[in-house]
Amino acid sequence: MSHIVVIGAGQAGASLVAKLRSSGHADDITLIGAEPAPPYQRPPLSKGYLLGEMARERLFLRPESYYAENGITLRLGRPVTAIDAGRKTVTLGDETLAYDQLALTTGSVPRRLPAAIGGDLPGVHVVRTLADVDAMAPGVAQGQRVLIVGGGYIGLEAAAVCAKSGMQVTLVEMAERILQRVACPETSAYFRDLHRAHGVDIREGVGLSHLTGEDHVTGARLSDGSDLSLDMVIVGVGISPGTGLAEAAGLDIENGIRTNAQGRTSDPTIWAAGDCASFPYKGARIRLESVQNAIDQAECVAENIMGAGRDYVPEPWFWSDQYDTKLQIAGLNTGYDAVVTRQTDGSLSHWYYAGETLLAVDAINDPRGYMVGKRLLSMGKSPGKAAVADPATDLKALLKA
């Protein structure tokens, strides 16, 4: 008997165990999750679910019955406290479970504000789990005053939901512009204008000094000396890979759990996938935080546990929904030195280049631009900048050029 244990019942963990079964693993599989709910989608949490437009059960990736029907043991609400790589066991409270192969899909944890500046006050929230969103939902109401800390995609999506709910929204971003770490100035400008048009007070180059309140957050002092009266704070200042268990078990850590191209860690019987895992890519070591990566990397790892010996080569894509605007991103823009803007009726896209090489595309309400850009990247093609910028160019023709 070969028992495969997977720690982390999120998107990557759920994808990994399903792929193991569909790839022919006939022996025991155990999926362990710290949360009491079965594996669920995270992106709708802060949108449809928070707005009350999506029932809890619709978040679930699969019906809970799927796991029993496929011989997958679900251990929910049972956080793993230790891994003993020498003995090949994991500890859940007072219980020890033996494994033959172990996969870590421990995801990521949201960065929180320090307690010293009021980060642990009631009314200060992060957006990561069902429990997080359930806790903040009662405060998302008409006329309430909310401060969003962080102008990345999580912060902007939270701002959009709060504004749609009739809240008074202030968003602060310590960097000189929103989305500075992940997008070009042109994309930042579009979303700045979008949010301001919906009444969001965006303040760039402004940080949070401290929060005020005793039994509940009541206000904030900003780094420019201004004061805000508040009913709620939502913190969206990024996430950190969930490496605690791996580090304590002696695995190599490098911006996440360090794996080789096939997803194997420094221990030959332990694998990692999803937000928590870093892997080699184009001469560098990266970690991708996306649903697409969680699924694709986890499925590749499952196949490799079964002996496929396949390197994981991602084709990154991401998305963000804000108000009635859909941003779709293909590729990684790291190292770009030029941005080409393409605008046609009702659609806009920004194409990132390094020299003459296409790196990525930000497509704003532009599904055609996104799909063509994604295919060009997968084919290794880089169309000329002038052709991309010309609205008369038939994008599909670029695929044949």
Instruction: For residue range 95-114, list pLDDT tens digits in order.
Output: 999 999 999 999 999 999 99
- Altogether, the residues listed in the chain come to a count of 401
What average pLDDT does range 190-207 have in this prediction? 98
What average pLDDT does range 218-224 have in this prediction? 98
Is 122 in the same domain as 223?
yes
Residue 345's pLDDT is 84
Residue 102's pLDDT is 98
Burial (CB count within 10 angstroms: exposed 0-12, middle 13-18, buried 19+), residue 270: buried
Distance from the Cα of residue 44 to its chain's centroid: 12
Is 99 in the same domain as 32?
yes
Per the structure block, which two tokens stand in for 339?
Answer: 């941005």
Q: What is the CATH number of the domain that holds 295?
A: 3.50.50.60
Q: Which helix (H) or strand (E) holds 290?
A: none
Q: Which domain holds residue 18?
A: 4-109+239-305
Residue 346's pLDDT is 83
Instruction: Spell out the residues 6+ positions from residue 339 whose beta carbon is closer than 8 angstroms to its own.
Output: 184, 186, 350, 351, 352, 353
What average pLDDT does range 202-229 have in this prediction? 98
Instruction: For residue range 267-325, list pLDDT tens digits in order.
Output: 999 999 999 999 999 999 999 999 999 999 999 999 999 999 999 999 999 999 999 99
Is 178 in the same domain as 261?
no
Is 385 in the same domain as 342?
yes
Instruction: For residue range 49-72, list pLDDT tens digits in order.
Output: 998 899 999 999 999 999 999 999
Is 98 in the same domain as 127?
no
How high is the mean pLDDT of the chain? 96
Angle between helix axes 185-197 and 153-164 (nearest 10 degrees) is 20
Residue at a domain's end among 184, 216, 235: 235
- ∠ CA 342-191-326 to the nearest 5 degrees? 70
Region for 123 from its dihedrals, namely left if φ exceeds 0, alpha if ψ lies in -120 to 50, beta otherwise: left
Is 73 in the same domain as 46?
yes
Is residue 146 a part of any domain in this protein? yes
Is residue 69 a part of any domain in this protein? yes
Task: Quickly state the pLDDT bin for 240 (edges 50, 70, 90).
Answer: very high
Number of structural domains the chain divides into: 3
Burial (CB count within 10 angstroms: exposed 0-12, middle 13-18, buried 19+), residue 394: exposed
Per the structure block, which two tokens stand in for 308?
Answer: 């496929």
Is 119 in the same domain as 104?
no
In this prediction the pTM is: 0.95
Is 265 in the same domain as 204?
no
Is 105 in the same domain as 162?
no
Rounded distance between C-alpha atoms, residue 252 and residue 244, angstroms? 11
Burial (CB count within 10 angstroms: exposed 0-12, middle 13-18, buried 19+), residue 111: middle
Task: Quickly state the pLDDT bin for 1 (edges 50, 70, 90).
Answer: low
8 A C-beta contact, residue 271 and residue 102 = yes
